[in-house]
Structure 1
Amino acid sequence: MISICIIVKNEEKLLNLCLKHLIPLNYEIVVVDTGSTDGTKDVAINYTDKVYDYPWNQDFSAARNFAISKASNDYIFMIDSDEILASCDKKELETYIQRYPDGIGRVMIISEYYRDNEKYSVKNQVSRIFSKKKYCYQGRIHEQVVPIEGEIATIYDAPIRIYHRGYDGDLETRRKKTERNISLLKKELEDKGDDPYILYQLGKSYYMQEDYFASCEVFSKALYFDLDPNLEYVQDMVESYGYALLNSQQYETAMQLLGVYDEFAVNADFLYLMGLIYMNNAMFTEAIGEFIKASQMKVYKMDGVNSYRAYYNIGVVYECLGLVDKAIKYYKKCGNYSLAVKRLNTLVYD
């Protein structure tokens, strides 16, 4: 029923763990190598006999569509080599496919990474399950699943959780990875003109490089388009723009997000961001209000924005205002969050 497809290049260190976790599903695995010079293909051959070469042509969609063409089954499960299958309810997945044969299944991608010795965990739903007769990939980079003809029938959340390792690593590692992406995205814009989704991905690439001014410039350009605030990438772009403004110390400019507050205050992530924006503009009462709102929201992407991260920042505000008892109260609500524990140790025990 299902074929798992992967495109790879020089991923011998990551591919083994990826494939190892897929084997228990007992689905066909198709691996397409786009020019590896290490032992990637040797790793792949240990798990599947369906290993193919594809000459790299600067087009991820073309490579993915080639992999799909080599699949024996009608339904495709696309995964990347820097991802590890955490869980999959196989019976339920196949039930969903039978119920929505023309639909697209989204899987939960959990990205875990460290910045400044602090762990972050962010979850997103990404389209990865579909019929090869109905859908294909489009876009040179950060490709999207699109209908071969007509429109998307149904989108459902598949019972699959995946851990993504691609955001981790030091700044130099991330810069090397995103330089290629930036080059391809710029080429896509040159060929097809300004497109908000491609601009969004370009802005995210600059953000990964910590080039926040360039990121802000690109995000700002994309946000001039008439965009649907219900689209996940639009929500993420607005939030990423806000963080890029904060990280580049453009605090007053960040206050402009108040103009889209009603459209985007639908999850804890945006409310938490607004709390940080108010906080950096010394509007402490408003900041506390946003952090409290965030703590009451059930919908979130980044771990902690509706709990310990929100409480921690309330504690910081109260501590800055000299209200130590209130600060301690909120630091204690953070559990084992290391930054809060550090402040508690200073305030209570020093």
Structure 2
Amino acid sequence: MKISLCMIVKNEQEVLEKCLRSAVAFVDEIVIVDTGSSDNTKQIAQKFTDKILDFTWCNDFSKARNYSISKAENDWVLILDADETIVNWDNALVERHMKSNADTVGKIKIINLIDDINGGEKRTIDYISRFFNKNIFQFEGIVHEQIIRKDGSSHNREIIGISVEHIGYTNKLLKSKDKVERNIQLLQSAISLNEKDSYLYYQLGKSYYLKREYIKTIEAFSKALDYSSDNCREHLEDILITYGYCLLNIGKYSDALELETYIPCFDASPDFHFIMGLVYMNNGMFQKAVERFFACLDKDEGRVEGVNSYMANYNIGVIYECLGYKEDAIAYYKKCGDYEPALLRIEKLH
């Protein structure tokens, strides 16, 4: 079975070639829909495909996405953004999915590179619906568009063997394209038409968080929970964890303790144990903090890289160092591998 890569682009000359070069060996057709580029985006796309189409932008991502997939010659389509590159493709898993799961949407692994508040870089992981049969599915929603069945019925999703690295949340790209502010405006416009859509408030909160507007993030998430739906409950863990980080970032440490009532609900989540470790740590509750960080260590991969390994060990080391247990602190710093903050602490303590 053949695959069409379908993309919508605008002014992506800085990143598009790397994206297409990473994908060209895995797909049989590339469909590029340009929504109004004024740079060399089209010229770069011409190196990889002759199917480059114009689409008049109408503030609706789903319409542009659906137009792109309507132009695909193949039934199976893969959706990528220009700031993403394929880093892993398990052909056996992809082929198996196409042969036996035409009515199931494939979720690909997105590795987001994010510049953190301290000037470093962290990686977060999402599994996003991006691979599907265009005869059965289409897009819906003007921003942060979702895949739905054309007949309106529910559908299943499964993880397939495609991994992608996403650089769109790095400070350089966020500033150059101002994509977050654009998304906020589109979300606010959508909310004005449906003031009780919990999913829109959830996405609005995530956009504010990227801008480090923590109070607005909390306000948007609160409304998402007020208007909670099945769609929003799917993202409850993410809402609560991000809510916790917001409270820590604005110094409301004691308020963040209210999250501890949810620990039993998310016992399998290293990300939730990790944020609770930070909450306890910032409230001077060191024994409870260590317990939460230890709980991270026997878990599978979390959404944030390292929460189930070097980042948890590092924070245990920090606590032991603060309490004066130098040798124990060094032992846990050494468990962090080449994590630079841990190496610096080891050097200072020796």
The normalised TM-score by structure 2 is 0.95
- 1:340 matched residue in structure 2: 342
1:232–1:153 Cα change, 3 Å: closer
Counterpart CA distance in 1 for 2:253 and 2:267 is 19
Aligned to 1:200: 202
Contact 1:75 1:131 in 2 (8 A): yes
C-alpha spacing 1:159/1:230, structure 2 compared with 1 (3 Å): farther
Partner of residue 295, structure 2: 293
In 1: Cα distance, 2:349 partner to 2:289 partner: 22
Listed as ranges, the matches of 1:118-267 within 5 Å are 118-170=120-172, 173=175, 176-226=178-228, 233-267=235-269
Matched letter for residue 59 of structure 1: D
Whether contact under 8 Å (2:11, 2:40) holds in the other structure is yes
Call closer, same or farther: CA 1:229–1:25 in 2, change over 3 Å.
closer
Amino acid of the residue matched to residue 262 of structure 1? P
Aligned to 1:302: 304
Cα deviation digits, residues 211-257 of structure 1 (max 9, x gap):
11111111122123445599653222221111111111111111111
Contact 1:315 1:331 in 2 (8 A): yes
Separation in structure 1 between the aligned mates of residue 235 and residue 32 of structure 2, nearest angstrom: 28
Aligned length: 348
Provide the residue aligned with 1:27 in structure 2: 28
Distance 2:51 2:3 in 1: 14
Out of 269, 272, 282, the residue aligned to residue 271 of structure 2 is 269
Counterpart of 1:248, as a letter, is I
1:39-80 per-position Cα deviation (integer Å, ceiling 9, x unaligned): 111111121111100001011111001101111111111111
Cα contact 1:315–1:328 (8 A) shared by 2: yes
- CA shift for structure 1 position 119: 2.3
| Separation in structure 2 between the aligned mates of residue 278 and residue 237 of structure 1, nearest angstrom | 19
What is the aligned-residue RMSD (CA, Å)? 1.8
Classify the secondary structure of the residue corresponding to 1:12: coil
Which 10-residue stretch deviates more, 41-50 or 111-120?
111-120
Q: Unaligned 5+ residue runs, structure 1?
A: none
- The counterpart of 1:320, out of the listed 319, 322, 329, is 322
Distance 1:56 1:8 in 2: 11
Name the amino acid aligned to 2:23: L
Matched, 1:38 2:39: yes
For 1:175 and 1:237, locate their aligned partners in 2 and report how far apart those are by CA, in whole Å: 26
* Corresponding residue number in structure 1 for 2:71: 70
SS, match of residue 20 in structure 1: helix
Once residues 255 and 81 of structure 1 are traced to their aligned partners in structure 2, the CA distance between those partners, rounded to angstroms, is: 40
Q: TM-score, normalised by structure 1?
A: 0.95
How far apart, CA to CA, are the structure 2 residues paired with 1:265 and 1:220? 23
Which moves more between the two structures, 198-207 or 162-171?
162-171
Can you list the C-alpha shifts for 1:290-329, whole angstroms capped at 9, x where unaligned? Answer: 0000111114111110111011111111111222222112
Residues 230/313 of structure 1: CA separation in 2 closer, same or farther (3 Å cut):
farther
CA shift in 2, pair 1:154/1:334, >3 Å:
same
